[in-house]
Amino acid sequence: MCGRYTLTQEQEALQAALGVAGLLHPRPRYNVAPTQEAPVILASPSGPQGGVMRWGLIPFWAEDPAMGSRMINARSESAHRKPSFREPFRHRRCLVPADGFYEWNEEGGRKVPFLIRLASGSPFTLAGLWERWESPEQGEVRTFTILTRDAIPAIHAIHPRMPVLIPPGERERWLDPETPVPDLQDLLLRPGGEGDELSPGDPVQVRPVSTRVNSPRYDDPACLAPPDGDAPPLQGSLFS
């Protein structure tokens, strides 16, 4: 799954790296958590555009918005068939900019958080779905979920699932509402290989971080600190 992520780059650098205008990212984020608002990238007639939505998809037919807190992830293998995600999968896809994400592993009876990112620190985009929900008090509420897949070997020892990363060359195809569902499935589930690298020679880095990240109250650089001194990072390929 993907339960927390980071977006630590400043807005101008992030917009330049992703080639997206209007990306609303007023401050670096070190611990983006479910039910919080975060930047997303949507399709528009003039090209990819930035926006802000709440993390945790609320289906349009939901009676209780609290349902969104249980819809932070969708399995890429089955999202196109599930009632909560079927229509967003076909018509309302988005990209979620990030430059790292967290997973937890149990060690000695306690859960240890790990930060997973590219060794270069470059940003990347996660596959997302979004939906509209009408609130009697707030009017239209827009929410999103992050798609997941089986973890690559570099991450599997920590957690069996990971978010789906959409490479730069495939971002427009993912956002395009005309892309057929079988093509989307191929994009989400294909194994690593040609075209699946954000940057050649930029391995994934996996390292333990402070348990401070366990609480959504904390969103500061201290979340990235090693738990006990400088732990050596593990490395592999994020698109293997």
Mean pLDDT, residues 10-23: 88
- Of 2, 94, 131, 223, catalytic: 2
103 is catalytic: yes
**What is the model's pLDDT at position 240?**
46
- pLDDT of 128-182, one tens digit each? 999 999 888 778 999 999 999 998 888 888 999 999 999 888 999 999 999 999 9
1, two tokens: 């799954």
Give the model's pLDDT for residue 238: 56
pTM of the shown model = 0.90
In the predicted model, what is the mean pLDDT of residues 63-82? 93
| 3-class secondary structure, 48 | coil
Q: What is the pLDDT of residue 200?
A: 54
107 catalytic per annotation: no
Per-residue pLDDT tens for 179-238?
A: 999 999 888 887 543 333 445 567 889 999 999 999 999 999 999 999 865 444 545 555
Q: Could you tell me the residue ranges of all domains in the chain?
A: 5-105+123-201
Instruction: Find the mean pLDDT for residues 30-49.
Output: 93
Handedness of CA 7, 25, 71, 85 (dihedral sign): negative
pLDDT tens string 90-132: 999 999 999 999 999 988 888 899 999 998 899 999 999 999 9
Averaged pLDDT of the chain: 88
> How many alpha carbons lie under 13 Å from residue 224 in its C-beta half-sphere?
19
Which class does domain 5-105+123-201 fall in? Answer: alpha beta
- CA–CA separation, 195 and 122 (whole Å): 17
What is the reported pLDDT for 6? 98
The single residue of 12, 37, 63, 103 carrying the catalytic annotation is 103
In 3-state terms, what secondary structure has residue 217? coil
Question: What percent of the chain shows pLDDT beyond 70?
Answer: 90
Look up tokens 């008090």; give the residue: 137
Q: Report the pLDDT value the prediction gives residue 232, as an integer from 0 to 100.
A: 46
DSSP for 87-142, please give it.
HHHHH-EEEEEESEEEEEEEETTEEEEEEEEETT---EEEEEEEEEEEETTTEEEE
Q: Is 153 helix (H, G, I), strand (E, B) or coil?
A: helix
Neighbouring C-beta atoms of residue 65, cutoff 10 Å:
16
Does 86 score more than 50 pLDDT?
Answer: yes
Q: What residue has token string 């020892």?
A: 157
pLDDT value of position 206: 92
Q: Which of 52, 69, 4, 71 has the alpha carbon at shortest distance from 79? A: 71
Q: 187 CB contacts (<8 Å, ≥6 apart)?
A: 166, 170, 173, 174
Who has greater pLDDT, 187 or 33? 33
For residue 97, the cross-strand partners are 125
